[in-house]
């Protein structure tokens, strides 16, 4: 069976969660079930892109070009990895192509479009001419949200969320809890949906339980404060540095993105120490040596980075800001969940975990043992069952 993965960007596993899970699942479905996997992407691929697991990649030009390409490969199941700028174009092609069926995968939190961006980030971006047009729109939106209720803006999103109805054979979400959140924006039938989680990124990682771990706190993320809110971690770290008990701990931030300049200026202006920006790197070595992993996102789908940290025994502390948080973390067992936006509680739990060696070790063991729930084999089987039913 041909599977055509549609994404905004060329599938580089280092560039983010959607790219990574597309790569992991395409490889697994090809290996375990013999499916033939293709990739279609909207934006031009950067130079020196790594090789992918797909048998062929195709840069989207227009609908006619896509239809011709689909006919050449003989059709198949189109898996739209949303949010994706090509979603509507793909849906428009459905009546033109009897040889395709469409599965729409929603990777986010319903209503993520109206998550606010911090005003200090907005000011910095505008002063430094960083993504000015979008940032101005965000500023206007936030001002409007002080006048109109949230329900007004969610109603405006209804046509977008209703778009897949009748155009796709299934809408895949990453957590069962997401379905009701989606339906609260765009009324539909729960039977239109199926929940399939993301899978572990790595082959089995051998982590001896007596392994010495560095006194390191780790962040692996796209450095975009709109959703990832790395600024929360910087404020927490600034307060932590006032306590001499933590002077031998290091914070490593792996990743790059639009707000990296703001973060680096913040660190410089606050004179923060023991904080290292590693840039975009393969994260596995960092997970294996760090003790604690931090996620302060305003919204997420089913974060690959939490799965990866747990698979490597790096204990996550996470804001409970998205539906799948409780799917991933049994609070106090294989991680710690913090009430969303409660920075004080987050800092307190981080300090407790940093000071308690035995607690970290026990939770690290639980992380590794419980991560098998999301093995590639298990998740690929869920996907294959869905594909056979489409």
CATH architecture of 216-372: 3-Layer(aba) Sandwich (3.40)
pLDDT for residue 15? 77
User: Each residue's pLDDT tens digit in the chain (390 positions)?
Assistant: 999 999 999 998 877 889 999 999 999 999 999 999 999 999 988 877 777 789 999 999 999 999 999 999 999 999 999 888 899 999 999 888 999 999 999 999 999 999 999 999 999 999 999 999 999 999 999 999 999 999 999 999 999 999 999 899 999 999 999 999 999 999 999 999 999 999 998 887 766 555 668 999 999 999 999 999 999 999 999 999 999 999 999 999 999 999 999 999 999 999 999 999 999 999 999 999 999 999 999 999 999 999 999 999 999 999 999 999 999 999 999 999 999 999 999 999 999 999 999 999 999 999 999 999 999 999 999 999 999 999
pLDDT for residue 16? 80
| Sheet (strand 216-220) strand order | 275-279, 250-254, 216-220, 292-295, 315-320, 336-339
pTM: 0.92
Which helix or strand (DSSP H or E) is residue 230 part of?
helix 230-240
Residue 248 is given by DSSP the state T
Cβ contacts of residue 206 below 8 Å, gap of 6+? none
pLDDT for residue 211? 60
Take residue 42 and report the two structure tokens written for it: 């909207």
Secondary structure (DSSP) of 123-166: HHHHHTTSSHHHHHHHHHHHHHTTTS-HHHHHHHHHHHHHTTTT
What does the H/E/C string look like for 57-73?
EEECCCHHHHHHHHHHH
Where are the domains positioned within the chain? 2-111+157-199+375-389, 116-148, 216-372
Secondary structure (DSSP) of 72-101: HHT-EEEEEEES-TTHHHHHHHGGG-TTEE
> 2-111+157-199+375-389 adopts what CATH topology?
Rossmann fold (3.40.50)
Cβ contacts of residue 76 below 8 Å, gap of 6+? 1, 2, 3, 4, 36, 38, 70, 99, 100
Helix 260-270 vs helix 230-240: angle between axes, to the nearest 10 degrees? 10
pLDDT for residue 209? 57
């Amino acid at each position: 069976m041909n599977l055509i993965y549609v994404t905004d960007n060329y599938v580089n596993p280092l560039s983010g969660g959607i790219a990574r899970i597309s790569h992991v699942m395409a490889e697994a479905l090809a290996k375990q079930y013999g499916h033939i996997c293709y990739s279609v992407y909207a934006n031009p691929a950067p130079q020196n892109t790594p090789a992918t697991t797909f048998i062929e990649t195709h840069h989207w030009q227009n609908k006619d070009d896509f239809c011709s390409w689909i006919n050449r490969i003989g059709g198949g199941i189109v898996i739209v990895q949303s949010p994706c700028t090509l979603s509507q174009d793909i849906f428009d092609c459905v009546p033109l192509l009897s040889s395709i069926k469409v599965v729409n995968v929603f990777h986010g939190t319903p209503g993520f479009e109206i998550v606010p961006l911090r005003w200090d980030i907005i000011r910095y971006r505008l002063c430094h001419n960083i993504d000015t047009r979008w940032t101005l729109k965000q500023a206007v939106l936030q001002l409007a949200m002080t006048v109109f209720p949230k329900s007004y803006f969610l109603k405006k999103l209804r046509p977008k969320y209703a778009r897949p109805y009748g155009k796709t054979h299934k809408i895949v979400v990453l957590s069962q809890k997401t379905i009701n959140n989606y339906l609260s924006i765009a009324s539909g039938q729960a039977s239109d949906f199926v929940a399939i989680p993301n899978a572990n990124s790595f082959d089995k990682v051998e982590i001896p339980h007596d392994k010495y771990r560095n006194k390191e706190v780790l962040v692996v993320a796209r450095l975009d404060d709109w959703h990832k809110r790395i600024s929360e971690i910087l404020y927490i770290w600034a307060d932590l540095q006032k306590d001499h008990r933590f002077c031998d701990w290091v914070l490593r931030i792996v990743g790059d993105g639009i707000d990296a300049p703001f973060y680096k200026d913040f660190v410089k202006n606050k004179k923060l120490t023991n904080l290292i920006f590693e840039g975009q790197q393969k994260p596995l070595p960092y997970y294996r040596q760090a003790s604690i992993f931090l996620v302060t996102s305003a919204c997420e789908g089913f974060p690959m980075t939490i799965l990866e940290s747990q698979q490597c025994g790096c204990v996550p502390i996470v804001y409970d800001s998205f539906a799948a948080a409780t799917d991933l973390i049994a609070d106090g067992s294989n991680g710690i969940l913090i009430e969303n936006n409660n920075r004080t509680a987050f800092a307190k739990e981080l300090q407790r975990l940093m000071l308690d060696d035995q607690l970290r070790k026990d939770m690290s063991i639980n992380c590794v043992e419980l991560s098998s729930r999301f093995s590639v084999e298990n998740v690929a089987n869920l996907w294959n069952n869905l594909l056979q039913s489409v």
